[in-house]
Amino acid sequence: MAVPDPAAGEIRVRIHACGLNFADLLMVKGTYQDTPQLPFTLGMEVSGTVDALGDAVTGLAVGDRVAVFGGQGGLAEYGCFDARRAVRLPDAMSMIDAAAFQIAYGTSHVALDHRARLKPGETLLVLGAAGGVGLTAVEIGKLMRAKVVACARGAAKLDAARAAGADHLIDAATQDIRTEMKALGGADVVYDPVGGDQFIAAFRSCNPEARLLPIGFASGDVPQIKSNHLLVKNISVLGVYWGGYLQFRPEVVTGSLATLMDWYCDGKLKPHVSHVLELDTVAEGLELLRSRASTGKVVIRLADEA
């Protein structure tokens, strides 16, 4: 394919790395809320170098190192993206870290800070705590001084959650979430990228005035919530779609990313990338997500760093 030319307001990026996300699997099936019209190229978030500028682009220059949430087009050597979605990278951030950063950390920070208003000392239950977004929720929850309970399947995934700062661990394969959470005093905030039976168990372990954050449905089961159960404990359910803020309140995303970049530069955040693969093994990378065999992020490398 020919290298594309940027339109007005766009930048062309020589892509170094692309982070894979569970939403890519939904796009393959055509079930994601923002699935583009066919044909399109997968790859929602990239890191790379600005290679060309379209008309009316200001604040960026050819040669700048950037991360971009484009929503599509990342699994390619070059891509043209809206310049307003580009974030200039600090010198200390590698291209691999940058490709793993925006969606996972951005989702967790907006969810816990902007939506749930997580307070110091509250108990945060993170489901799917070893996944791409789950580990970031553990990290950010600790930075926000919550008591973090990480729920994942198996010792290896729980070890990753412990290393990210979890105070308590629940093995979803062998332990009952509701029983374990009741013993810990119940949940004030639930961060849920899993759905299904785990959501129901977490819901039943909530304290009065708890906040539940549906992030996604990796289990494939979208739980149905009975409103009378919300009423009894004054529980709030707060939907979180990070990319949606770019459409109606982009300042929420830009402000959050500025905070997260500062935390990264201060050494407070360390992206967990379990697999770095090459472009010809994208299918293998997607299967790692589908089978939940990865911890943290899977990143596709398209070019070496200069």
Judge whether 3 lies within some domain: no
Q: What percent of the chain has pLDDT over 90?
A: 87
Q: What is the pLDDT of residues 30-40, one digit of tens each?
A: 988 889 999 99
Considering only CA atoms, which of 204, 200, 242 is closest in space to residue 224?
Answer: 200
pTM of the model: 0.91
> Distance between CA 35 and CA 42 in Å, rounded?
10
Residue 1 lies in a domain: no
Return the number of other C-beta atoms located less than 10 Å from residue 71's C-beta.
21
Confidence of residue 10 (pLDDT cuts 50, 70, 90): very high
Judge if 210 and 128 occupy the same domain: yes
Distance in angstroms (rounded) separating the CA atoms of residues 139 and 114: 16
Of 176, 167, 129, 166, nearest in space to 151 by CA:
129
How many CB atoms neighbour CB 219 within 10 A? 18
Calpha distance 160→128 (Å, rounded): 11
Task: Please give the structure tokens belonging to residue 110.
Answer: 């907006």
Confidence of residue 135 (pLDDT cuts 50, 70, 90): very high
Residues 111 and 213 in one domain: yes
| Same domain, residue pair 221 and 117 | yes
Inform me whether the pLDDT recorded for 305 exceeds 80: no
Cα 242 to Cα 14: distance, rounded to the nearest angstrom: 25
Least confident of 18-22, 188-192, 223-227: 223-227
Asked if 204 and 288 sit in the same domain, the reply is no
pLDDT digits (tens, 9 = 90+) for 236-261: 999 999 988 988 998 999 899 999 99
CATH code of the domain in which 122 resides: 3.90.180.10
Q: Which helix (H) or strand (E) holds 95?
A: helix 95-99
Q: Are residues 123 and 234 in the same domain?
A: yes
Whether 135 and 74 map to the same domain: the answer is no
Say whether both 82 and 110 belong to one domain: no
- pLDDT average, residue stretch 129-133: 91
Q: What percent of the chain stands above pLDDT 70?
A: 100
Does 146 score more than 70 pLDDT? yes
Segment 83-104 shows an average pLDDT of: 94
pLDDT band at residue 304 using 50, 70 and 90 as cut-offs: confident
Beta-carbon count within 10 A of 259 CB: 14
Question: Does 141 reside within a domain?
Answer: yes
Q: What is the pLDDT of residues 189-210, one digit of tens each?
A: 999 999 999 999 999 999 999 9
Domain that holds residue 285: 10-101+271-301
d(CA 1, CA 43): 17
Residues 58 and 154 in one domain: no
Q: What pLDDT, on a 0 to 100 scale, did the predictor assign at position 60?
A: 96
Burial of residue 189 (CB within 10 Å: 0-12, 13-18, 19+) is buried
Query: How high does pLDDT run on average in the chain?
Result: 94
Based on the structure, what is the number of domains in the chain?
Answer: 2
Model confidence over 154-182: pLDDT tens digits?
999 999 999 999 999 999 999 999 999 99
DSSP character at residue 118: -
Taking the C-alpha atoms of residue 198 and residue 29, their distance in angstroms, rounded to an integer, is 24
Residues 118 and 237 in one domain: yes
Domain membership of residue 306 (yes or no) is no
pLDDT for res 306: 60
Residues 125 and 80 in one domain: no
Instruction: Identify whether residues 142 and 229 lie together within a single domain.
Output: yes
Q: Do you find a cis peptide bond into 208, omega within 30 degrees of 0?
A: no
Tell me: do 233 and 107 sit in the same domain. yes
